Amino acid sequence: MDEIKISLLQSSEKTSGLQFFEGRVQAGFPSPAQGEYADTIDLNHALITNPAATFCARVIGNSMIDAGINEGDLLIIDRSLTPHDGNIAVCFIDGDFTVKRLSVRDDGVYLTPANASFPEFKVGEDSNFQIWGVVSHIIKKV
């Protein structure tokens, strides 16, 4: 299974905002800018709902590439969210962390990769298994 590195997301009272362009950016044909940098945006406030329960992890491996999660991406994981069928979650299983899509079925819980080269994994009844948190955001370098 692919691994991820987990680290505590440090939040401080003193934050610096990034300049925020209030207009929308066209992904089609360009249009004239409708505004200037009107404000700042604090990504901690924009991306994190519950700082005390939020962690970051750097992805290692490529089992989730078809879900847009690539090696090196930074995941924001919220442990306060209730995991549901279909969520992408960080799970702890038998001593390792992994990121997979949860699939809850009548016969058990499965960890489903988003890459056809990787097999689906059924969580055994005797496994040391915990859904550690739900992925709320993916930050990528382009």
Active-site residue list: 63, 100
Judged by DSSP in three states, 116 sits in coil
Both tokens assigned to 54: 């939020």
Identify which of 133, 128, 85 has the alpha carbon closest to the alpha carbon of residue 110.
85
Report the C-alpha gap between 62 and 66 in whole angstroms.
9
Alpha-carbon torsion 81, 82, 87, 93, what sign?
A: positive
Identify which of 2, 46, 61 has the alpha carbon closest to the alpha carbon of residue 136.
46
